[in-house]
Amino acid sequence: MITFDLITIFPKAFDSYLAESIIKRAQQKKLIKIKIHNLRDYTMDKHKKVDDRPYGGGPGMILMVESISKALRALKSKIKNQKSKIRIIMLTPAGKKFTQREVERLAKYNQLILLCGRYEGFDARVDKLVDEKISIGDYVLSGGELPAMVVVEAVARQIPGVVGHKDALSEETFAKGLDYVEYPQYTRPEKFKVKSQKSKVKIMEVPKVLLSGNHKEIKKWRERQSKKRK
Ligand code: SAM
């Protein structure tokens, strides 16, 4: 069981995604626990202000350090088992790139606390309150909610029982190394007719070997194909 604590100023942003499919079932089966915390519940003033203008000028607003510190203290005070492995992670485009190896590393923790930024990001002093910073890619999104969901889903898939078929993870892209991509997959129909822009009919067929029932040959073909797509 792994617990994800998500700290955000947009708690409703997660509702629909968490209530669907694999992530929903994983929560029902108590394989993962996801708790959403509204940063505004930890503000220092009655207006529930979480952001302010940057010192020295510049565009946009910065998330203030005080409410984040208060939220983290509150979460830490609820930890019953002092031996549980906990990681506090800031989502930021300036963080370490999130790869499948990072996913596997994070799946070893009992609890991940994910800080979702907004506006121009965090007061730099928040850096000292977190264990690490993660970026989901070299682009800038408007908030840390999507990156947090990416981390939750990718890590949750590593927890035994979350993904249905036990072989599914070991066959997947990146499973055998970051340069490994999964072989091409096909399902019904065997022959698929498509019309090109010039109205020519083209038939797209499933490779014969996959229909042969010869598992040794299928395995060999898949190995060749996954290398080919590198
Ligand atoms: N001013 C910041 C900068 O230049 O690095 C960008 C802030 S961004 C508009 C607002 C928030 O979105 C960030 O604090 C972070 O939590 C989240 N975010 C945006 N892109 C991200 C990425 N690629 N990976 C992780 N988090 C990201």
Element (H, E) at 225: helix 215-228
Atom of ligand 1 nearest to the CA of 115: 16
Sign, CA dihedral 91-159-38-142, equals positive
Q: How far apart are CA 124 and CA 7, in angstroms?
A: 17
Strand positions, DSSP E, the chain = 2-8, 32-38, 51-52, 62-63, 86-97, 111-115, 132-135, 191-195, 201-205
How remote is the CA of residue 161 from the centroid of ligand 1, in Å? 32
- Contact (Cβ atoms closer than 8 angstroms) between residue 63 and residue 92: no
How remote is the CA of residue 40 from the centroid of ligand 1, in Å? 19
**Mean pLDDT per segment of 10 residues, for the chain of length 230 residues?**
97 96 96 98 93 96 98 94 93 98 97 98 98 98 98 97 82 79 94 91 96 97 81
Mutate to test the pocket of ligand 1, among 6, 7, 141 (most ligand atoms within 8 A of CB): 141
Question: 41 φ, ψ to 5°?
Answer: -75, -5
How remote is the CA of residue 89 from the centroid of ligand 1, in Å? 13
2-228 adopts what CATH topology?
Alpha/beta knot (3.40.1280)
- Contact (Cβ atoms closer than 8 angstroms) between residue 145 and residue 8: yes
Strand 132-135 and strand 86-97: pairing?
A: parallel
Indicate the domain borders of the chain.
2-228
- What strands lie across the sheet with 2-8, from one edge to the other? 32-38, 2-8, 111-115, 86-97, 132-135
